[in-house]
Amino acid sequence: MATKKIEKEPKKVAYGAESIQVLEGLEPVRKRPGMYIGSTGPDGLHHLIWEIFDNSRDEAMNGYANRVEVTLLPHDQIRVVDNGRGIPVDIHSKTKVSALETIMTTLHAGGKFGGDGYNVSGGLHGVGASVVNALSIMCKVEVHRDGGFFIQEYKQGVSKGKVKQIGKSKFTGTITTFEPDPIIFKEGTTFEMSRVVSHLRQQAYLVKGLSITIVDAREVTEKLDLEGETYAADLNIECPTTTFYFEGGLKSLVKHYNEFSKPIHKNIFYVEKEAENVGVEIALQYIDDMTTKMAAFANNIPTAEGGTHVTGFKTALTRLINAYARKNGILKEKDDNLSGDDVLEGLTVVISVKLREIQFEGQTKAKLGSMEAQSAVSTVFSDAFTIFMEENPDDAKEIINKGLLALRARKAAKAAKDSVLRKGALEGFSLPGKLADCQSNDPADSELFIVEGDSAGGTAKMGRDRVTQAILPLRGKILNVERARLDRMLGSEQIKNLVLAMGAAIGDTFNIEKVRYHKLIIATDADVDGAHIRTLLLTFFYRYYRPIIDAGYVYIAQPPLYKIQQGKKIDYAFSDEEKFAIVGDVDITNPEEESSEENIEEGEESEVKEEKNSKKETVKPSSQKIRIQRYKGLGEMNSEELWETTMDPNTRILKQVSVHEAEEADRVFEMLMGSEVGPRKSFIQTHAKSANVDI
């Protein structure tokens, strides 16, 4: 009998003046934190440090400070100290409370709106310190100023009392201590020392004469009495401490980026000059490589998405190199001009601009919008780079020849890419023969397991979920793309199959919307060869499919190392520690003779003798046998084991690949996979003792 579906009328909601919610104070920040710090994940968490540090750095940029310290304290607290002027503590005429409280508890309040406080600064919205305060369960500011020592404390953006003077001080500066609110940062409030060090190292290059110290005091067990002390590093605390101080500025930063690379010209180009009231500083050097390393800053704020200053530089660089090449007969009349991509290949460049009135796109300041920066950069760079090429003709010739090589390679790569894609089109865009595709056409539900070897590939095909899981076996090690151009790369059958399977093309025709799988899972053996193949694949994705990594589509499978069977009970261990945790405090012996663990790992059956140490009770040897199987590769598993441990979404362990610090990742890939042997050899010798080699 059919039943009639009764549609319910939507509930009517009154919408009037009372429906309009007015958020007071710092409530908007806690309501929508992503608007102010980008996210509430690890990036947003670390952004809190950058906001407080930027205030101290701005003091240094304007000549009022030369030392900043960032200390990681227990309980995920951060302490930032500078020796600047100290935040004013006198009563503000409009707010009727101290200037310190105004800055810390009011949005859009600060000394960077065009007054006499700062000539150049990274802040422009006046929300940095107040946002950190709003998103912290505890925040405390100590000010050393005018011979006094002042303090005020806050909780979730609200002051716990008035500013108090608690003594005299011979120092000047500001100390800000805060603890992120776990209610806001649900993914965790643990800071990464490596990320803090990387970011602040970069800042030290950008401000000549500024000393930046990072102290990791999280493991310090004794009570840290830092109140009233200016710097933790001066207390001689035994904990990891790093200090950066550079006089070379951007030239030193370019040298740092090119540490593991081979320059094609010795002289690093450098210019620092002001035009149209914009300070411009640029350093560049070409290396024997195909990648481009470009770091851009506006008032020392990293602008990852570029902006007007980058546009001005790129336009001027392309125009100048083509003009010089034609003037000196290196480019003939019939030759094509070098494109922007051609002149950028192999370039390492740092661009820094400083403006009094600065305009970013968004509070996170990822892109510069100030139009005057474009013409200023173009003017300053054009004048200086023209002189550089005239005074260094050998360097200029090497740079142009590098561009010509890129031009020829670009044409060859286009032909190879067109050939691959055209072949696919002629065959109805047929997928690689080795690919066992899934039935689903929805990329969000589809997974591609990139498996090492035909044996593991065959097992994975038998054990997979055919609806959502596709399998692409690789035969051996793929080409090292760090050392190969696109045309040669696409000549590799393995890489060509991977490109076709992904379905998003490559190079300038890449379209992330056409990626056929939103989980690309690298599944290799847990040995040295497997690690090498995994590194080669990660290099491929990083160099040619970086947007896929940024989108969170790339994963690494974690197959178990051991299968442990006791009677009918089966456990899997993913490390030696897990194996010992499962087996417990038992002595494993062979019934007939003593057996080494290596023999047991190969699958020999053994009796278990157990001793309960806590009760000092000896237990009679059990007849139950324990069997430990050590997996050397995925191919040693049967289809049920591979499904249960590595492929089943309910039980598997996947590691999502992400890139927090692109510059550092770039240096590591270049060192490990590039053509220079020296840096790689030095790295291996330095870290040889800590290597875990499965022989």
**Residue 178: strand pairing partners:** 78, 139
Rg of the chain on CA atoms, in Å = 30
648 near 656, Cβ under 8 Å? no
Q: Which of 601, 606, 609, 610 is nearest to 626 (CA)?
A: 606
272 catalytic? Reply is no
51 catalytic? Reply is no
Catalytic residue among 146, 229, 527, 578: 527
By CB atoms closer than 10 A (0-12, 13-18, 19+), residue 513 is exposed
| Separation CA 141–CA 105 (nearest Å) | 12
373 near 278, Cβ under 8 Å? yes
Phi, psi of 113 (to 5 degrees): -105, 25
525 catalytic? Reply is yes
527 catalytic? Reply is yes
Coil, helix or strand at residue 216: strand
Q: DSSP letters of 469-531?
A: EEEEEE-SPPP-GGG--HHHHTTSHHHHHHHHHH-S--GGG--GGG-S-SEEEEE--SSHHHH
| Separation CA 575–CA 572 (nearest Å) | 9
Catalytic residue among 281, 345, 525, 604: 525
| Separation CA 267–CA 264 (nearest Å) | 9
By CB atoms closer than 10 A (0-12, 13-18, 19+), residue 537 is buried
- The dihedral formed by the CA atoms of 293, 299, 304 and 306, expressed in degrees to the nearest 10: -80
| Separation CA 416–CA 506 (nearest Å) | 11
Catalytic residue among 345, 452, 666, 670: 452
Q: What does DSSP say about strands 278-286 and 269-275: parallel, antiparallel, or unpaired? A: antiparallel
CA 634 to chain CA mean position, Å: 30
| Separation CA 237–CA 80 (nearest Å) | 16
Would you please indicate which residues are annotated as catalytic (active-site) residues? 452, 525, 527, 529
